[in-house]
Amino acid sequence: MTTPPWVIDTNLLVSAAITPGGICDQLLQNAVSGRFVLIWDNSLLLEYRDVLSRPKFGLSAGSIRKLLAAFPPTGFCRGLKLECKLPDPADLPFVAVALATHDKTIVTGNSKHFPHATTRKLGITILSPREALVLSG
């Protein structure tokens, strides 16, 4: 069985950072221990860093570096060019990267950002953090 390649939404990283031991933190630990591969491209890493650096989260630069260190170089995947409509066009890079993997999976705490009609048409699976934790456990 191959290790699944999953794209994670930024909200999962924020939750992991501010709720140690919570579902999202446990899920991130599953990725670090090799139960799935965190898939990313440069646009996603920039998004993660920008959001985690917001003062309202109170995260230190060291904490942010530690979180981003969970993304292995082997998880780099150039997103596909695509045109589709999402409630927030800033979420398109997550879809583009997921489409470039064989698993086509996005893990998010905000499934409304990735409407079922659109993701189904593209063959993308949306998992909640809890579903992903069960599948990767």
Q: Which two tokens stand for residue 82?
A: 């695509």
**Residue 120 reports pLDDT greater than 90:** yes
DSSP-derived 3-state class of residue 127 = strand
Residue showing tokens 């800033």: 90
Interatomic CA distance for residues 12 and 49, integer angstroms: 13
Using pLDDT thresholds of 50, 70 and 90, give the confidence band for residue 105: very high
Q: Which domains are present in the chain?
A: 5-136 (3.40.50)
**Residue 107 φ then ψ, to 5°:** -105, 125
Structure confidence at residue 41 (pLDDT): 96
CA 36 to chain centroid, in Å, comes to: 11
User: In the predicted model, what is the mean pLDDT of residues 29-42?
Assistant: 96
